[in-house]
Structure 1
Amino acid sequence: MRRIVFFGDSLTAGHGLQNPSVESYPALIKDKLQQENLLYEVINAGMSGDTSSGGLSRLDYWISQPVDVFILELGINDILRGLPLSSIHRNLDTLLQKVRRKYPQCKIIVMGMEVPGYANVARLEEFTSIYRRLAEAHNATLVPFFLEGVAGIKQMNLNDGLHPSKKGYDVIATKVWPVIRGVLETA
């Protein structure tokens, strides 16, 4: 069976949801795959609080078995912690290089991020461009803003205002599914 690895932080893990195994966006994408009779094993390799360096350090475990599609969603915790933009880019670039070296035919999707409005980031454009540059460098598909239609909308988020609610994940899954579906057609 072909494998899709969703690799990210709390946004991938489904932090704060009552039942992430059925409410997170990887779980919702799994439902869509089943509805279309597409046989893929879906792996939710999300880890709450993860950073780009943390992701890099745990990557080998998640790519120890064949990966057909690798979906990356990392970096927002780095920027919220004030880590240098160059480190974020370097870590994510190294991570994608490792995936590509091990599985040259693997399709890669990069989930772009934007900085929350309350964050004090002088180089906002440079941060958001990291994802576009990664997608270009690794011949990956880019979703420009993973949280589009959810970020900053109270009813789409948990009380912390940072993590999507089930309703928010429904929006995310609906928006990213056509991209993922398109990539699967070429896999």
Structure 2
Amino acid sequence: MNPGPIVCFGNSLTEGYLVPRGFSYPAILRELTGRPVVNLGISGDTTGDGLRRLAEPISYELGIAIVEFGINDFLLGISLVTAARNLSSIIEGLKQGGAEVVLMGFHL
């Protein structure tokens, strides 16, 4: 496995919306693993937004990419077919960039 940073790519749940500074899952992951972790979470992002900014995570020497998108697609009424297609493209792009991709979801 590439020793590059762990890149966390997603929406507000990745960014750490409504949690105290230092308590987002990427911050906790950095603390637990001792590895560099890059938080690329942006509040409100959909799978389409993630696909449009795919060049950002690929710009890192990827080791592991944790992907967390979908809730905003659901809340905005974006079709499941569109969200799945976008997510598949994100995963493929990250894999082509050398990442081992991990999908993440939250039980709300």
TM-score, normalised on structure 2? 0.91
1:134-171 Cα offsets, whole Å, 9 max, x none, are xxxxxxxxxxxx23xxx2xxxxxxxxxxxxxxxxxxxx
Matched, 1:97 2:92: yes
Matched, 1:61 2:76: no
1:70-103 Cα offsets, whole Å, 9 max, x none, are 1000011001111110000000001111111121
Deviation at 1:2, TM superposition (A): 2.1
Give SS of 2:38's match: strand
User: In the alignment, which residue of structure 2 is the partner of 1:26?
Assistant: 26
1:79 is aligned with what amino acid? F
- In 2, the alpha carbon distance for the partners of 1:17 and 1:111 equals 18
Which of 7, 11, 19 aligns to 2:9? It is: 7
- In 1, the alpha carbon distance for the partners of 2:84 and 2:15 equals 22
- In 1, the alpha carbon distance for the partners of 2:8 and 2:55 equals 14
- In 1, the alpha carbon distance for the partners of 2:61 and 2:4 equals 8
Matched, 1:110 2:106: no
Which of 72, 88, 94 aligns to 1:77? It is: 72
1:103-156 Cα offsets, whole Å, 9 max, x none, are 1xx2111013xxxxxxxxxxxxxxxxxxxxxxxxxxxxxxxxx23xxx2xxxxx
- In 2, the alpha carbon distance for the partners of 1:25 and 1:102 equals 23
Give SS of 1:45's match: strand
May I ask how many residue pairs the two structures share in their alignment?
106
1:11 is aligned with what amino acid? L
- In 2, the alpha carbon distance for the partners of 1:28 and 1:42 equals 10
TM-score, normalised on structure 1? 0.54
1:27-176 aligned within 5 A: 27-34=27-34, 40-103=35-98, 106-112=99-105, 146-147=106-107, 151=108
If each structure's helix is expressed as a fraction of its own residues, which one has the higher value?
1
List alignment gaps of at least 5 residues for structure 2: none
User: In the alignment, which residue of structure 1 is the partner of 2:18?
Assistant: 16
Give SS of 1:2's match: coil
2:39 is aligned with what amino acid? N
Runs of 4+ in 1 over 3 A off after TM superposition: none
1:38-80 Cα offsets, whole Å, 9 max, x none, are xx21001100000000001111022112110010000110011
List alignment gaps of at least 5 residues for structure 1: 35-39, 113-145, 152-187
User: In the alignment, which residue of structure 2 is the partner of 1:183?
Assistant: none
Greater CA radius of gyration, 1 or 2? Answer: 1
Residue pair 2:12, 2:42 contacting (<8 A) in 1 also: yes
